[in-house]
């Protein structure tokens, strides 16, 4: 029987700076006195998604702070966040911050794709 890891226990990591958690995940987990299941280390992306889906403005704020601090975004994550924003799943301040982040990332990604697809002379 496979045991599913519950990311709710890791939400307190969002109260720490993203850079320090990403640089030393084992140390951050030890600081919470949480032993991850054997195998792959916990996925910070899943932690972020858990926080954003928690319904708690406290954890949503922590997730947005991580995004603003440089948590890696990609097109799928941006589009998912913007869809959630359009469904008004977050408070207005969180929606505004996520909209700014998501649209900025998508605009920069589109510009990079256009630049990469333009023939160079």
Q: Say whether pTM exceeds 0.95.
A: no
Exposed / middle / buried, residue 106 (Cβ in 10 Å: 0-12, 13-18, 19+)? middle
Judge if 93 and 51 occupy the same domain. no
Asked if pLDDT for residue 101 goes beyond 90, the answer is yes
Pairwise CA distance, residues 25 & 27, whole Å: 5
* Residue 31 token pair: 């600081």
Both 64 and 79 in one domain: the answer is no
Residues 49 and 3 in one domain: yes
64 plus 21 within the same structural domain: yes
| Residues 112, 99 within the same domain | yes
Q: Say whether both 58 and 90 belong to one domain.
A: no
In the predicted model, is pLDDT for residue 2 greater than 50? no
**Which of 1-10, 21-30, 73-82, 100-109 shows the lowest per-residue confidence on average (mean pLDDT)?**
1-10
Measured CA to CA, the distance from residue 48 to residue 13 in angstroms comes to: 10
Residues 20 and 52 in one domain: yes
- Specify the pLDDT at position 70: 94
Q: What are the tens digits of pLDDT across the range 37-54?
A: 667 778 999 999 999 999
Number of domains in the chain: 2
């Amino acid at each position: 029987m496979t045991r599913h890891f519950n990311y709710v226990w890791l939400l307190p990591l969002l109260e720490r700076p993203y850079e320090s958690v990403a640089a030393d995940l084992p140390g951050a987990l030890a600081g919470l006195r949480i032993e991850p299941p054997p195998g792959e280390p916990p996925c910070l992306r899943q932690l972020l998604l858990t926080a954003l889906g928690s319904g708690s403005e406290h954890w949503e704020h922590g997730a947005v702070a991580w995004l603003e601090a440089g948590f890696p975004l990609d097109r799928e994550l941006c589009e998912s966040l913007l869809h959630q924003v359009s469904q008004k799943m977050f408070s207005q301040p969180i929606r505004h911050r996520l909209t700014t982040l998501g649209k900025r990332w998508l605009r920069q990604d589109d510009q990079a794709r256009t630049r990469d697809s333009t023939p160079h002379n």
